Amino acid sequence: MKILLYLSDFMIPLILFYIVGYGILQKQNIYEEFVVGAKDGLKTVVTILPTLIGLMVAVGVLRASGFLDLLSKLLGVILNPVGFPTQLVPLSIVKMFSSSASTGLLLDIYKNYGTDSFIGLAASISMSCTETIFYTMSVYFVAAKVTKTRYTLAGALFATFIGLAASVILAGMM
């Protein structure tokens, strides 16, 4: 087991040395390629920055306004009979927009219910089996200049729904 720990410590430096070595063997100007890649990366950041700021502001407004709590109470009528805890509604909604904001909600769930509670376990599992749909779509589609998303949103929402259902089922088994 210790060999895996040592190997994991050296993995990133080994990959970097491999890339540099391969570039030298191919007689490439490694530094020049790095600078060009960094410049392209910076252009991408500038392109997607307005989208990121908009998403962060929207999540902050939803969280601070109390809208998520109101939505939890309203959806509780539908979700309680099917076994989905209403405490997970804000986390489930925010996770579709921002992973870091949902991490804050996850920590609140841990404080209120505990990490080993049913709610804590379901929240942990749902965080790992759902995606930040709108963040991912906006960032990657803007960067790739995709204008027609076809069934991406419907498929992503369906996958999130299945992930949330699976998290509640799996947490109930533990």
- CA separation for the pair 169, 144 (Å, rounded): 37
- CA separation for the pair 68, 38 (Å, rounded): 39
pLDDT of residue 25: 92
Extract the tokens encoding 52: 């990121």
Q: Which residues contact 164 (CB under 8 A, 6 or more apart)?
A: 84, 88, 92, 126, 130
Extract the tokens encoding 76: 């509780």
Residue-wise pLDDT for 17-27, tens only, equals 999 999 999 98
- 58: left (phi > 0), else alpha (psi -120 to 50), else beta? alpha
Helix, strand, coil tally for the chain in percent (to 5): 85, 0, 15
Rg of the chain in Å (alpha carbons): 21
pTM metric for this prediction: 0.69
- CA separation for the pair 104, 81 (Å, rounded): 27
Residue 39 pLDDT more than 90?
yes
pLDDT band at 94 (very low <50, low <70, confident <90, very high): confident
pLDDT of residue 36: 93
Residue-wise pLDDT for 67-83, tens only, equals 888 888 898 889 888 88
User: Hey, where are the domains in the chain?
Assistant: 50-173
Angle 28-29-33 (CA atoms, 0-180°, nearest 5)?
A: 100
Residue-wise pLDDT for 96-135, tens only, equals 888 878 888 899 999 999 999 999 999 999 999 888 888 8
